[in-house]
């Protein structure tokens, strides 16, 4: 059965992440092996959204994409429900990696970001956790992999703006059975497949004025000030802003 969302005057059909898609990254392997129904829905991704055809054309012309992800509350055995997690590739012809920006629309989110050594995907240089509530903005800087966790009892709905010209890189996190930390009911646990994992740094969400938004304003409205999002498609031109976030 299709899961749909009405956004503006359009209805979008979700890409569904199911339990069997999470097999490589789940902490509680014993629970997973004992779970018979593995095709059940885990979370929903509504991609390439716009409120009108003209806005979609503008978004595409600027090489951007606006998505919404919905993550109902659940436990994956002893672990809080989460996304699979991914990295972004380099911008062609540069040394800069593509960033991404999120906003919590409903509920609350725990964003786990990690940076690893170039060429050594299991050697961790930095781990950051940002807890975000409704309205909060979270910027994923260039070079950081990220996982979103719903550690609450309410449905998490979050939006993202990202460059549309690349595919996310899932393989490194899958090969290492998840991110460098898992969030369980009893707290964070290190993933033993990583090396040199530092303590978690806990940081605050991004200030609204960094994007020219008013406090609490939905970041979709940047479709009307779309030049403010150029750092997503040309991060090499915004090194100061992007490195200053952390």
Residue pLDDT, tens place only, 108-143: 999 999 999 999 999 999 999 999 999 999 999 999
Q: CB of 100 within 8 A of CB of 168? A: no
The predicted pLDDT at position 243 comes to 84
Domain ranges within the chain, ordered by starting residue: 4-243
E-strand stretches of 57-209: 64-71, 75-76, 79-80, 100-106, 108-117, 120-133, 137-140, 145-149, 156-163, 181-184, 187-190, 201-203
**pLDDT tens, position by position, 2-54:** 999 999 988 999 999 999 999 999 999 999 999 988 999 999 999 999 999 99
Homologous superfamily of domain range 4-243: Jelly Rolls (2.60.120.10)
- pTM score of the predicted model: 0.96
């Amino acid at each position: 059965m299709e899961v749909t969302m009405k956004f503006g005057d359009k209805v979008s059909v979700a890409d569904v992440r199911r339990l069997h898609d999470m097999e490589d990254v789940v902490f509680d392997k014993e629970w997973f092996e004992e779970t018979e129904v593995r095709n059940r829905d885990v979370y929903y991704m509504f991609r390439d959204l716009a409120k009108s055809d003209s806005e979609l054309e503008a978004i595409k012309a600027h090489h951007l994409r606006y998505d919404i992800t919905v993550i109902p509350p659940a436990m994956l055995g002893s672990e809080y429900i989460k996304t699979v997690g991914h990295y972004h590739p380099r911008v062609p012809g540069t040394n800069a990696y593509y960033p991404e920006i999120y906003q919590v629309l409903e509920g609350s989110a725990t964003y786990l970001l990690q940076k690893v050594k170039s060429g050594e995907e299991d050697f961790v240089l930095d781990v950051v956790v940002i807890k975000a509530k409704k309205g909060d903005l979270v910027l994923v800087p260039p070079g950081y992999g990220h996982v979103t966790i719903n550690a609450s009892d309410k449905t998490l709905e979050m939006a993202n703006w990202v460059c549309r010209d690349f595919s996310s890189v899932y393989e490194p996190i899958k090969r290492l059975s998840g991110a460098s930390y898992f969030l369980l009911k009893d707290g964070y646990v290190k993933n033993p497949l990583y090396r040199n994992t530092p303590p978690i740094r806990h940081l605050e969400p991004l200030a609204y004025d960094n994007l020219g938004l008013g406090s609490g304003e939905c970041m979709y409205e940047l479709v009307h000030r779309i030049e403010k999002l150029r750092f997503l498609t040309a991060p090499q031109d915004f090194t100061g802003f992007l490195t200053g976030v952390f």
